[in-house]
Amino acid sequence: MSTIQLYPPPLLPPSRRLTRHLTSASTIPLKATSINYTTTLNNVPDVSTSDSSTLRELCSRHVPEHVLDRMEENGYTVPTEVQKRALPVLLSGRDCVLHAQTGSGKTLAYLLSVLSVVNTNRSAVQAVIVVPTRELGMQVTKAARMVISGFAENPLEQKACIVMALLDGGILTRHKSWLKAEPPTIIVATLGSLFLMLEKKILKLEALKILVIDEVDFMFNSSKEVASLRKLLTSYSSIKDRQTILASASIPQHRRFLYDCIQQKWTKSDVVHVHVNSLQPIPSCLHHRFVICNRRERIKTLLSLLKADAPQSAIIFVSEQSEKSKKAGNASSSTLVVDSLKASPLGCSGIVLLEDEMHINKRTASLLDVRQGGYILVATDIAARGIDLPETTHIYNFDLPKDAVNYLHRAGRTGRKPFSEAKCFVTNILTSKERFVLQRFENELLFHCAELCL
């Protein structure tokens, strides 16, 4: 089920707004898409084009041909569901909230929108993509450079399209002279690094045409970043001069969020909410399982699961160690798991650790290791947001996530091969007292978890 919801003024309080939507909105069926109108709108994107059979057809007359050529060379020919529904809206210039399952193709959708508006002959930053973590930023930067490499091959382009990554404070110094001499066309940045440049007035956003906030719900829920994010949306750039794209697989209370977007002037008043698979937040190819054991037997249970499943590539999620546990001198879950895997008779190879407190260089090296395939990645939730490891077939929750949203994003690290019918598994190791927590996740995310007996 896909919905494209258009939210025009006048603004109403959330309760009255919701009542009005339910009582006076008309629903127009259009194959797999329904469009809910609250008032009559002009310049509504022609969503009939969303039935185009190829990405080239969807993007024709908007995205440069050489970019489309490059995209096809890399195997991107058939649009995913979110691309079918979102691209007509994005390429029309409307502000948009992209709300779809993990691994559904949101990144390519907004990158194509970016490349439809930037002018490489102009020496100015015209697009900014904000990400919550360095790891996701590296991935987005790689995808952007892959697609825009077509610009350099086009003889009609006088200048190449340049993508700059501002992902940690350690590399900012060498970017200062570059930014002053010849600003890049597109910047991919974490919020902290971006603001260092903005506050020092090394970077200006006067020519900004498009602003993308990826994993927007995560960033608004971060107490460290929410103030900077609000400032970026309202002070350093104006909604009048830019297209704003907000993307995530999870936007709790999305009606309230859309209301806030308009009320706080984060987006224009005619922002479009593209919600794909609203009745199935988690991909159907995932098989969810749980094993109940004593807390002291979790390592033994994990090793038994790995022996039985024999996964080629897997991620084992653990919780971050609390300050209380650190002061008590206890070993973290990540240490326990890694040491046990290395000492086990299973002969586990390719064991990689990725956690928040690791040095940036070590985190980068860990990601490079898992890109080779044949890995067992032990990670905290830093790996749950946006990181694309399509070879992953098994997810193990050694520690349950703190809420349903984190469960959705952890589970979304598998089943990411487009159009693949391969079975992927999410297995939860829990005590009998934690069963009700998993049941709550099942109710919220509308999936079934089967008990596994070892």
Do residues 341 and 348 lie in contact, with contact meaning Cβ atoms separated by under 8 Å? yes
The band of 196, judged by pLDDT with boundaries at 50, 70 and 90, is: confident
- Examine the fold and report which residue of 227, 252, 276 is the final residue of a domain before the chain moves on: 276
Shared-domain flag, residues 380 and 249: no
Shared-domain flag, residues 264 and 309: no
Shared-domain flag, residues 307 and 245: no
Inform me whether the pLDDT recorded for 429 exceeds 80: yes
pTM of the model: 0.80
- Examine the fold and report which residue of 223, 258, 276 is the final residue of a domain before the chain moves on: 276
Residue 366 maps to which CATH number? 3.40.50.300
* 345 part of a folded domain: yes
Rounded Cα gap, residues 58 and 92, in angstroms: 12
* 417 part of a folded domain: yes
- Examine the fold and report which residue of 235, 258, 276 is the final residue of a domain before the chain moves on: 276
Rounded Cα gap, residues 173 and 169, in angstroms: 8
Inform me whether the pLDDT recorded for 155 exceeds 70: no
* 403 part of a folded domain: yes
Shared-domain flag, residues 37 and 172: yes
Shared-domain flag, residues 187 and 256: yes
Inform me whether the pLDDT recorded for 406 exceeds 60: yes
CA distances from 288 to 90, 353, 396, 435 (A): 34, 24, 10, 14
Shared-domain flag, residues 329 and 224: no
Angle ∠(316,404,443) on CA atoms, nearest 5: 120
Shared-domain flag, residues 371 and 299: yes
Instruction: List the domain range (segments joined by +) for residue 92.
Output: 2-276
Q: How many Å is the Cα radius of gyration of the chain?
A: 23
* 385 part of a folded domain: yes
Top-confidence range, 30-34, 103-107, 324-328, 440-444: 440-444
Rounded Cα gap, residues 428 and 397, in angstroms: 5
* 418 part of a folded domain: yes
Higher pLDDT, 23 or 408: 408
Report the domain count for the chain: 2
* 254 part of a folded domain: yes
Q: For the segment 229-266, what is each residue's pLDDT rounded down to a tens digit?
A: 999 999 888 888 899 999 998 887 888 999 999 999 99
Shared-domain flag, residues 418 and 310: yes
Inform me whether the pLDDT recorded for 44 exceeds 70: no
The band of 90, judged by pLDDT with boundaries at 50, 70 and 90, is: very high
Inform me whether the pLDDT recorded for 17 exceeds 60: no
What pLDDT, on a 0 to 100 scale, did the predictor assign at position 241?
85
Shared-domain flag, residues 446 and 309: yes
Shared-domain flag, residues 269 and 291: no
Average pLDDT score, the chain: 83
What pLDDT, on a 0 to 100 scale, did the predictor assign at position 168?
73
| 48 CB-near residues (< 8 Å, 6+ apart) | 30
What pLDDT, on a 0 to 100 scale, did the predictor assign at position 229?
92
Range with the poorest average pLDDT among 48-62, 217-231, 268-282: 48-62
What pLDDT, on a 0 to 100 scale, did the predictor assign at position 341?
93
Shared-domain flag, residues 63 and 176: yes
Shared-domain flag, residues 89 and 145: yes
Q: For the segment 359-379, what is each residue's pLDDT rounded down to a tens digit?
A: 777 888 888 778 767 889 999
CA distances from 229 to 94, 216, 315, 450 (A): 20, 9, 31, 40
Query: Taking Cα atoms as reference points, which of 320, 250, 301, 254 lies closest to residue 451?
Result: 301
